[in-house]
Structure 1
Amino acid sequence: MNLAVIVVAVFFAGMGIAALVKPAFIWAPFGVAPTTPAARNEVRAVYGGFGLALAALLFVADSQSAGFRDGVLVAVAVALAGMAVGRLLGALVEPRPLLGWPGIFFLIETALAVLLLIAR
Structure 2
Amino acid sequence: MAIFLIYLMLSWWGIGAWLLFDPAALEAYAGVAALTPTGLTELRAMYGGMELAIGSATLLALLRPYWRCHVLFLNGVILGGIAAGRLVGVALDGNISVYTLAVLTFELSAVAICLLLARGLQRSGE
5+ long unaligned stretches in structure 2: 119-126
Candidates 81, 98, 101, aligned match of 2:99: 101
Q: 1:27 to 1:118 in 2, by over 3 A?
A: farther
5+ long unaligned stretches in structure 1: none
Question: What does 1:63-102 align with in structure 2 at a 5 Å threshold?
Answer: 63-66=63-66, 68-96=67-95, 98-102=96-100
Give the counterpart letter for 2:45 in structure 1.
A
Aligned to 1:25: 25
Q: Which structure carries more helix by proportion?
A: 2
Give the Cα–Cα distance (whole angstroms) in 1 for the partners of residues 20 and 97 of structure 2: 27
Give the Cα–Cα distance (whole angstroms) in 2 for the partners of residues 49 and 90 of structure 1: 24
Aligned-pair distance for 1:65? 4.2
Candidates 104, 115, 122, aligned match of 1:117: 115
Q: Work out whether residues 9 and 56 of structure 1, in 8 Å CA contact, stay in contact via their aligned partners in 2.
A: yes
Give the Cα–Cα distance (whole angstroms) in 2 for the partners of residues 8 and 81 of structure 1: 14
**Size of the alignment, in residue pairs?**
118
The structure with higher relative contact order (CA 8 Å, sep 6+) is 1
TM-score by length of 2: 0.83
Report sequence identity in percent. Answer: 30
Give the Cα–Cα distance (whole angstroms) in 2 for the partners of residues 54 and 26 of structure 1: 19
SS at match of 1:32: coil
